């Protein structure tokens, strides 16, 4: 086993950008609002599912940056503490949502409805929705949206020890992450070719969707080496930010006008690459671009902080409103406004009553640092 060497010897100048970046909170806000808009069938925003792609790339980028930084500071990664922090950050809010929905079905639903809900809630609670949906032919019940949460939890479980192994052995992270990204991308196209019209068989599968997570990991290994060079160019933040944002807008509109079932693999690659370019633009540059400033505003940051709860309560809120507003003369605009207000109300309650207390407990298991803890900010409000 190779001994540990200074990061400059193995990985070049490693200076991951993982401290609190308000624009990344704003990016989460943009992503979750796009996802909600697509589920509300807002005209011209039906391609808002690209928000999930943004979350995947961002998660891979932040997780890898944080864990590599921990290794450089301690010569190891405390896997047990890492998993416990992830559980304390993500699991309580999910369980709270599942329990509240079960209580609602118990009071107002029929027995068969409750039984069906409990069946699909078990898949969500054990982070299996991506496997059930990807190999079972489609989302299982109203909680099918938790497939993305399941995929990220499985990523955390597998990537952290593999990353530690790579760092201990001295394997080049850029090559490892590139190989994993290409392998998952290849699986996406191969499986899509076998099931051309079977969107549910490919869209949710972990081996075909992990490419964006690993793309974020690749970005975390490459960006620290070039960020100093990029920062010397005054226009780099503007160019990358606008280019990434334009790419996301383009695939979002493309998803609106064409069938995702026919062109999905290209759209996913397009969305993931655009998200990566946008993250570069938000992370480097002498001058903060207009995109940076817009995503750093207080409203955007506030929405980003509660974005995890918004993602959790999105579908339950829409189902509830569809049930009780069906008899009222309300158009899609009114429905969307009411739905967004309810989603934000429930997400705020989740954040202040469930997530923040658990975040305080999570800090007891953090590695002692000499600088402000980046993970404290990097994952607050992340829907994935």
What sign for the dihedral angle of Cα 102, 107, 108, 109?
positive
Asked if 124 and 143 count as a contact pair (C-beta separation under 8 A), the reply is yes
Closest residue by Cα to residue 279 from 116, 61, 98, 50? 61
Alpha helices in the chain (DSSP H): 7-10, 22-39, 50-74, 79-108, 111-125, 129-136, 147-169, 173-194, 199-203, 206-231, 236-257, 260-283, 290-295, 298-305, 307-324, 332-350, 356-362, 374-378
Please give the pLDDT value at position 139. Answer: 61
Please give the pLDDT value at position 272. Answer: 96
Q: List the pLDDT tens digit at each of the 384 positions of the chain.
A: 333 333 333 444 444 445 568 999 999 999 999 999 999 989 888 888 999 999 999 999 999 999 999 999 999 999 999 999 999 999 999 999 999 999 988 877 666 678 888 888 999 999 999 999 888 766 667 899 999 999 999 999 999 999 999 999 999 999 999 999 999 999 998 888 876 555 567 888 999 999 999 999 999 999 988 877 777 676 888 889 999 999 999 998 887 655 555 677 888 999 999 999 999 999 886 567 889 999 999 999 999 999 999 999 999 999 999 988 877 888 989 999 999 999 999 999 999 999 999 888 766 666 544 344 444 444 433 444
264 assigned to some structural domain: yes
Asked if 267 and 254 count as a contact pair (C-beta separation under 8 A), the reply is yes
Please give the pLDDT value at position 241. Answer: 92
Model confidence over 168-192: pLDDT tens digits?
Answer: 999 999 999 999 999 999 999 888 8
Please give the pLDDT value at position 201. Answer: 75
383 assigned to some structural domain: no
Please give the pLDDT value at position 381. Answer: 36
* Residue-number span of the structural domain to which 148 is assigned: 7-378
CA distance linking residue 374 with residue 87, whole number of Å = 17
Model confidence over 124-149: pLDDT tens digits?
Answer: 999 999 999 888 766 667 899 999 99
238 assigned to some structural domain: yes
345 assigned to some structural domain: yes
Model confidence over 326-338: pLDDT tens digits?
Answer: 778 889 899 999 9
Domain count, the chain: 1
338 assigned to some structural domain: yes
> Residue 262 CA to chain centroid, in angstroms?
24
384 assigned to some structural domain: no
Please give the pLDDT value at position 195. Answer: 65
Please give the pLDDT value at position 262. Answer: 61
The tokens describing 174, both together, are: 């850029």
134 assigned to some structural domain: yes
347 assigned to some structural domain: yes
Q: Say which residues have a Cβ less than 8 Å from residue 308's Cβ, sequence separation at least 6.
A: 90, 93, 347, 350, 351, 355, 381, 382, 383, 384
């Amino acid at each position: 086993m190779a001994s540990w060497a200074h990061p400059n010897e193995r990985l070049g100048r490693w200076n991951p950008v993982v401290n609190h970046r308000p624009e990344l909170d704003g990016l989460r806000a943009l992503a979750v609002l796009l996802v909600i808009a697509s589920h509300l069938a807002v005209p011209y925003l039906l391609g808002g599912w690209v928000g999930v792609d943004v979350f995947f790339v961002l998660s891979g980028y932040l997780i890898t940056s944080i864990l590599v930084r921990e290794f450089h500071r301690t010569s190891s990664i405390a896997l047990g503490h890492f998993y416990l922090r992830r559980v304390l950050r993500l699991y309580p809010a999910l369980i709270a949502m599942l329990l509240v929905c079960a209580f609602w079905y118990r009071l107002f639903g029929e027995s068969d409805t409750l039984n069906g809900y409990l069946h699909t809630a078990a898949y969500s609670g054990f982070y299996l929705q991506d496997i059930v949906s990807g190999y079972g032919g489609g989302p299982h019940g109203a909680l099918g949206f938790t497939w993305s949460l399941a995929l990220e939890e499985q990523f955390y479980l597998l990537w952290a020890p593999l990353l530690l192994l790579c760092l201990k052995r001295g394997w080049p992270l850029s090559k490892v992450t590139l190989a994993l990204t290409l392998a998952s991308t290849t699986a996406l196209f191969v499986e899509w070719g076998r099931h051309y019209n079977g969107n549910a068989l490919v869209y949710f599968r972990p081996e075909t969707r992990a490419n964006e997570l690993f793309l974020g990991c690749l970005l975390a290994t490459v960006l620290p080496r070039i960020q100093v060079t990029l920062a010397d160019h005054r226009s780099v933040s503007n160019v990358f930010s606008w280019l990434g944002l334009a790419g996301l807008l383009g695939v979002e509109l493309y998803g609106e006008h064409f069938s995702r079932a026919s062109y999905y693999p290209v759209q996913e690659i397009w969305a993931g690459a655009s998200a990566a370019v946008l993250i570069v633009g938000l992370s480097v540059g002498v001058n903060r671009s207009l995109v940076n400033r817009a995503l750093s505003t207080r409203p955007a940051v506030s929405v980003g902080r509660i974005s995890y709860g918004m993602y959790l309560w999105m579908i339950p809120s829409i189902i509830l409103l569809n049930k009780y507003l069906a008899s009222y003369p309300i158009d899609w605009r009114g429905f969307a406004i009411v739905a967004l207000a309810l989603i934000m109300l429930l997400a705020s309650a989740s954040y202040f009553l469930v997530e923040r207390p658990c975040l305080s407990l999570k800090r007891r298991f953090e590695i002692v640092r000499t600088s402000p803890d980046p993970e404290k900010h990097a994952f607050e409000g992340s829907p994935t």
